[in-house]
């Protein structure tokens, strides 16, 4: 059962990363369209900057779980390199657990804020306002998924 849940989590991580890559393409296309519309037709858009900024927020938090899964996040190893192997493993597990707890707390806060935005109908302040939770909902997803990857790495067999 746990293996199946891990496979589902891995699948969601891959799908999120693929969606993030597609959103990068969408951002590039929106800016190319904006440049062409502005300089060739003297008709700048009102939406391309908003789309790019909202999509960039999604890109970041859809990508974080994949980076966490691969261990590609920032790590300061200078202090641990001089430790004996047994201490290094123990410290690494403690750091992974701490990172998981911080991500869980931040995901909880982000989810509460996204829910508040949804419940109160909060919109972005822009030329083309959209519900703000459409943007912020990616924050708790990315942090919760990263927390699960940190926990999986903490308790994984060497």
Report pLDDT digits (tens) over 6-34.
Answer: 899 999 999 999 999 999 999 999 999 99
Q: What angle do CA 116, 146, 83 make, to 5 degrees?
A: 135
Do the beta carbons of residue 60 and residue 142 sit within 8 Å? Answer: yes
Q: Of 129, 134, 113, 121, nearest to 50 (Cα)?
A: 129
79, 86, 81, 70: which is closest to 150 by C-alpha? 70
Place of tokens 């995901």: 107
Per-residue pLDDT of the chain (158 residues; tens, 9 = 90+): 888 998 999 999 999 999 999 999 999 999 999 999 999 998 999 999 999 999 999 999 999 999 999 988 777 777 778 888 888 888 889 999 999 999 999 999 999 999 999 999 999 998 889 999 999 999 999 999 999 999 999 987 76
Judged on CB neighbours under 10 Å (0-12, 13-18, 19+), 104 is middle
Instruction: Give the CA-trace dihedral at 7, 13, 18, 22, to 10 degrees.
Output: 150
Residue 158: per-residue pLDDT? 63
The two structure tokens encoding residue 4 = 């199946």
Distances (CA, A) of 28 to 22, 47, 100, 128: 10, 14, 33, 19
**How does DSSP classify residue 26?**
H
The CA-based angle 138-130-108, given to 5 degrees, is 30
For residue 154, give both structure tokens.
Answer: 């903490």
Structure confidence at residue 51 (pLDDT): 93
pLDDT for 36: 94
Domain ranges of the chain: 2-155
Give the Cα separation of 68 and 17 in Å (integer): 12
């Amino acid at each position: 059962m746990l293996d199946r849940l891990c496979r589902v989590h891995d699948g969601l991580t891959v799908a999120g990363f693929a969606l993030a890559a597609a959103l990068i393409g969408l951002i590039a296309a929106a800016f190319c369209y904006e440049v062409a519309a502005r300089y060739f037709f003297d008709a700048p858009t009102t939406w391309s900057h908003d789309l790019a900024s909202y999509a960039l927020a999604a890109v970041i938090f859809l990508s974080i779980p994949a980076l966490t899964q691969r261990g590609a996040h920032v790590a300061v190893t200078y202090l641990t390199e001089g430790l004996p192997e047994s201490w290094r493993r123990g410290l690494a597990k403690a750091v992974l657990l701490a990172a998981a707890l911080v991500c869980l707390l931040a995901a909880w806060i982000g989810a509460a804020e996204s829910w508040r935005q949804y419940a109160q109908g909060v919109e972005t302040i822009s030329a083309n306002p959209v519900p703000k939770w459409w943007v912020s909902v990616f924050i708790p997803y990315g942090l919760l998924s990263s927390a699960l990857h940190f926990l999986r790495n903490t308790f994984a067999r060497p």
